[in-house]
Structure 1
Amino acid sequence: MLGVDSSLLIAQAALETGWGQKMVKNARGNSNNLFNIKADRSWQGDKVATQTLEYHNNVPVVEKAAFRSYASFDESFNDYVRFLENNPRYTNALDHGGNSERFIHGIHRAGYATDPQYADKVLRVKAQIDQMNLL
């Protein structure tokens, strides 16, 4: 995706899903939602509602939210790309896809996640992945 380092995308999915152990469940068992993208009113696909931790004014709050549900990880990844590319608020971040720090901080600032430490957490996971030399 636009020059974004694959280890950053893996790190983001790992953080969002607890390395795949805390993926949102649906009636089929697994939503395959690697990036925990929420299902707003415009979403026409399957969705599943669950409790989630959000931050409001840096205070963690548990609330119920609807998340997108996919038939496969491939579908989830492709939707993540579309989600970012079709949302003007992420344009600046996408312009810096080749720089992991600028990209992840950019989508965070644009509202991708409410955790005030989100970008730094993703970058720490990326550093772990890079140290393992898996890619």
Structure 2
Amino acid sequence: TGWENGPLGYPTTDEVCGLRNGGCYQTYQDGSIHWTSATGAHATHGAIGERWASQNWEQGPLGYPTSDEIATGTGSYQMFEGGAIIWTANGSRTEAITMNSSGLTPTQQDYLRQALPAAVAESQQYGVPVSVALGQSILESGWGGSTLSSRYNNYFGIKCSTSSPYQSGCINMGSGEYLHSSYQIISSSFRTYGSRTDSFLDHGYFLTHNSRYGGAFAHTDDPDRFIREVARAGYATDPNYTQKVINLMNAYNLYQYDI
């Protein structure tokens, strides 16, 4: 982080071990570094570090940090075992998002744990509600079980008719489409990605760089209205697409993750 010239300053303690799950930490003038064999070593400081401390550090619902602080165009965020803490520059607002595994199968818990940071990154960068990004990705990828998502990290079914800075290539695959009210399997060219996060960021890029979806961004504080506008603009051919996404957002209370 830049030694003593970085955001942490000089160390103020030696390394201290014996924390939960064999963890260790060291404190600095303006923050701390925590480590476990499972999560690695990550620094916390500033408003995000204060919020984590207020929730009882690694003993709280968030657990240990799993990333360093990541800057976005509107602030920054940091991922933890049990969720995320987001700091928004506009108004200097800090919010903790804790993953709720109640009612989820182990497969669904694993998907949500991995998808949540990607959805948070998309929301911070492009303004798409976290609940909508999660709901669409669950529907499009079958909780990450589709071939397109598991092999090629495409969680939204975005095609190669245009290009983006996030895609790594294209792949031809069969997909289900509604053509003239009839469900058919057709061959399409889909974008491929190097990571799950790239797919989520590309979803935000796709929506913000197509003017037809502009109306949705007047309703970022209303996820149901947001997805209705996206679907109305022609995102999917399924006539029931909007209701399917809203049903998922309701069934798993994805709204609780909105920033």
**Which of 1 and 2 has greater Rg?**
2
* Structure 1, 76-85 or 3-12: larger mean CA deviation: 3-12
Q: Which residue of 1 aligns with 2:153?
A: 32
Segments of structure 1 that go 5 or more residues without pairing to the other structure are: none
CA distance in 2: counterparts of 1:104 and 1:4, whole angstroms: 10
Distance change (3 Å), C-alpha of 1:101 and 1:39: same
CA offsets 1:61-103 (integer angstroms, 9 cap, x no match): 1100011000001111111111110100000012212111111
CA distance in 2: counterparts of 1:19 and 1:134, whole angstroms: 18
RMSD: 2.0
Q: Which residue of 2 aligns with 1:59?
A: 182
Contact 1:108–1:118 (CA<8 Å) still a contact in 2?
yes
Does 2:245 match 1:122? yes
The alignment covers a number of residue pairs equal to 130
CA offsets 1:26-84 (integer angstroms, 9 cap, x no match): xxx711011111111x3264011111111122211110001100000111111111111
Greater relative contact order, per chain length (Cα 8 Å cut-off, separation 6+): 1
Contact 1:8–1:126 (CA<8 Å) still a contact in 2?
yes
Match of 2:234 among 111, 126, 130: 111
- Displacement over 6 Å in runs of 4+: none
Q: Which residue of 2 aligns with 1:8?
A: 132
Identical-residue share of aligned pairs (%) = 34
Q: What is the TM-score with the length of structure 2 in the denominator?
A: 0.47
Distance change (3 Å), C-alpha of 1:70 and 1:3: closer
Q: Which residue of 1 aligns with 2:145?
A: 21
CA distance in 2: counterparts of 1:23 and 1:94, whole angstroms: 30
CA distance in 2: counterparts of 1:106 and 1:6, whole angstroms: 16
